[in-house]
Structure 1
Amino acid sequence: METVDTGRASAETEARRRGAEVLEDPSAAPRRPGPDPARRRRLRVLALALGIALVLLVALASLLVGAKSVGPHAAWDALAGRPGTADARFVRAMRLPRTGLGLAAGGALGLAGALMQALTRNPLADPGILGVNAGAAAAVVVAIGFAGLTTFTGYVWFALAGAAAVTGLVHLIGAAGAGGATPARLVLAGTAVAAALTALTSTVLLMRPDVFDAFRFWTVGSLAGRDAGTLWQVLPFLAAGVLLAGVSAGPLDVMAIGDEGAAALGARVRVTRLLVVVAVTLLCGAVTAAVGPVAFVGLAVPHLARAVAGPDHRWIFAHATVLGALLLLGADVLGRAVARPAELEVGIVTAFLGAPALIALTRRPRRRRS
């Protein structure tokens, strides 16, 4: 406790000293007043409410649009649980689980991306950087080639186990040596393990063409063909990941100043880092298991969330969850609409939408800090 108090006093002294230097420097530019906290809070709430409204509209479109168009009455009967017409039964059996899985998967990927970028303090970090996607893909190849599984409900458990095992291995490698599992070590370990697993997966696919035929439908990233059972299988893992993300939001705000400064202010850096790694594994692993690897959602969405929410990670996580759900489900609806009566897989559409958005964000001029 004495060490924490000493560190806090040193940090406050350094801050006062720097402030005094700025005041004494006649060449320093005058500081403009910061934004009103109440106004910023109102903007955050308004943006979040607008995002939720857009998600509801896209969800409605997801129930109505596809190779077979249905009317609003059929969608309402399906939502209300009434027997209704054949269209209502079709919506309840096919469109409703697909819509729910799209919302859950998109929100989880957006939240996982925000967690990963906050942990590594790297705006280009992606949930797959810990090897989660590579571990899930390797496990799916094993499930198809050696366990004889051919259904998505069978893939889910293998993919989840593979994602969890690889994340644990990456954390053990990153934690070896002095200093523990720093963000840089985790990134390097995840990249190395992912490269090795990708090579292993490619080898098996080249040697077993029958495995490749089944694997290619999973690896493109799609919501098609998933039933309500797949959604219910992954929901507990997603709920646990969201809970861990909420617990980690406050400590991540403190860790933004650096590990040493955060530790001096009383933050439990290693515990927070471990919680974030577990949360990313649960969120990204469950989604990858259910729908396959989907690109750009976890990379692009946190940038949009930070632009709206500011530096507070509680707001960033909330906006990233809503925007992720909006992007993924919107991409799925767009893929069904533009290629009717066929459809473009959601992983392809998110790549087309996410790449230009990310380029626009990187080319946007940064605001000068006042």
Structure 2
Amino acid sequence: MSQLTTRIRLYGTDCDQFKLVQEAIKQTQTNLHVFAGIYIDGNETTYTRQRDQAFAVLDEYGVDNVLGLTVGNEYLLQAFTADPATLPTAQTYLISKITEVRTMLAAKNYAKTIPVGSADAGSQITAAYAAAADYVMANSHPFFSGVTAAGAAAWTAQYLIDQEPHFATDAGKPLYSAEIGWPTDAMAGGSLTLNGSAASIPNAQDLLDTFVCAANTNITAGGAYNHGYFWFELFDQAWKTQYGGAEPYWGLFDKDRNLKSLTIPSCLADAEAPVGSMGNNDGGGSTSNGGSGTSSGSSSNPSGTTRNNGATASFASSPVVMLSALTTLLAFMGGATLL
């Protein structure tokens, strides 16, 4: 993974995924920075467990390579899918947890500011949500929009500007495409095509070729299309056969960790600077003081599907090629390489 990116994203802390990632980075001395995740599902026990695990890891390993704490992943999408009428209450709950984590970080007085953000389907981003978060991660899957692979890169760039994710940039907050990718296959009997979107290796290659280098250039140059992104995903996920269709086949690598017949773009984006030895954090410095707000809700249709339950280790990252994967962490222990 460190040969492809200097940034990864985690969706939660269960199964010790945050701790194992930090330990693997410490042992291998790879230049990887982490957006840690605190998964929430509306159950206070789930939130408290994940929150406390995240802070325990920050206490043990320090914050030098931590880029942010992402509270919630597709929580609002799940609420909307279950019952649209519950969305305002769900947003109020999510904002309260973002605010609580920020307050707890301030009390810790870690060595640097750790932004507190959130991730959800692009259609669920609202002005109140954006005001509460220090950064916003919005899913922007062209495959689920039904566009062809040839038009997927342009659709993604425009979606972040024209649709609900624009609330983040309107509020002056960093905006990331939380998941951008293309499936390479589908299960036997499953659909290979969703409207104009066809799951195939050539189409995944088209999106890699037309999106990655252009996005990296825009990130470096700034401007209206200056949005970070997280490529979805690193490995195929056999456990997602329960969802059918193309769900198990979004990886750049297959389930056995073999690179598919894909060419990884060679264009580069700015890398995160290496950090010193990881260890206990002695404090000093300050934490972020972003705003918070109350819910106004949203009745827009969800973009993307719910995949991550926080119980499986998940990864995402940003350029060089930004990747995400739902996978166990065993492959990272002992310095296993990916290419």
User: Which TM-score applies when normalising by structure 2?
Assistant: 0.27
Point out the structure with max Rg over C-alpha: 1
More strand per residue: 2
More helix per residue: 1
